[in-house]
Amino acid sequence: MIELDIKTIYYDMEHPILNNISFVVGEGEIVALTGASGIGKSTILKMIAGLHTGYKGEIATPKNMRIAFLSQSKCLLPWKTVYQNIVLLRKVETGLVDKRYASQLIENLGLSGYEKKYPLFLSGGQYQRAALGQAFYYLPDIILMDEPFTALDMKRKREVQDIFMKLQKQYNITTLFVTHNKEEAEYMGSRIINLDGKIEREEMTR
């Protein structure tokens, strides 16, 4: 669960970018964060992840929560294979690799046969699935996603979105994602939070 009650978000004290933002993302919920470009959506994700400290207010997550952050930029190491990238974060943290879980995840992502491929030789959809694999293998309690599907065409985008939602439901991972795409917000989100001041609480059907 994520609880956010922010009075001001800023890059410097004289130029606040957002004021009075409060919302809760429940355990296992998928919530879409929308709003105009530059309004501060990505900054909110960075705040929750601990990457931006320019704010006044409170951000609360349960203790010892594991957070995975997927940005729209390239996140896989080009000199490591798909398999090595997927197991990387958890291996760095624990020194261990659960080969059975990794193989199951790779199969669920439709990447069987690509384990030894390097990111340079993947299609856009395959790359995004491998990035999702890295996040899910980390076994996070919370996933934060910043426009992770923008580089994909509509067909591949929907395929990767469906894979994500299936795995998110399977592992009951609390998810907050930024998008400019209304259709994507409605398709994936159980709720939409619009930073123009309006918070929508309509349940979406999939």
The domain tally of the chain equals 1
Lowest mean pLDDT among 1-10, 39-48, 150-159: 150-159
Which residues does 55 contact at the CB level (< 8 Å), separation at least 6? 6, 7, 8, 9, 10, 47
Strand-pair partners of 55? 9
pLDDT at 17 over 80: no
Tokens in use for 119? 């990111």
Q: The tokens 């080009």 sit on which residue?
A: 78
Is 206 contained in some domain?
A: no
pLDDT digits (tens, 9 = 90+) for 96-121: 888 998 998 898 888 999 999 999 99
Assess if residue 9 is contained within a domain: yes
For residue 87, the model assigns a pLDDT of 92
Please state, in angstroms and rounded to a whole number, the distance separating the CA atoms of residues 82 and 84.
Answer: 6
- Please indicate, yes or no, if residue 205 is contained in any of the structural domains: no
pTM: 0.84
| Residue-level pLDDT at 205 | 44
Residue entry with tokens 């390097």: 118
Is 161 part of a structural domain of the chain? yes
- Residue 181 to residue 169: CA distance in whole angstroms: 22
Here the CATH number for the domain that contains residue 34 is 3.40.50.300
Residue 203 gets which letter from DSSP? P
Greatest mean pLDDT among 17-21, 49-53, 73-77, 129-133: 129-133
H/E segment holding residue 19:
strand 16-25
Six-digit token string for 95: 């020194």
Mean pLDDT, the chain, rounded, equals 85
Rounded to a whole number of angstroms, the distance between the first and last alpha carbons of the chain is 22
Q: With residue 68 as reference, give the H or E element that holds it.
A: strand 67-70
Tell me the percentage of the chain whose pLDDT exceeds 90. Answer: 25
Give the helix, strand, coil percentages of the chain, each rounded to 5: 35, 25, 40
The whole domain housing 15 covers 2-200
Which residue has better confidence, 70 or 85? 85
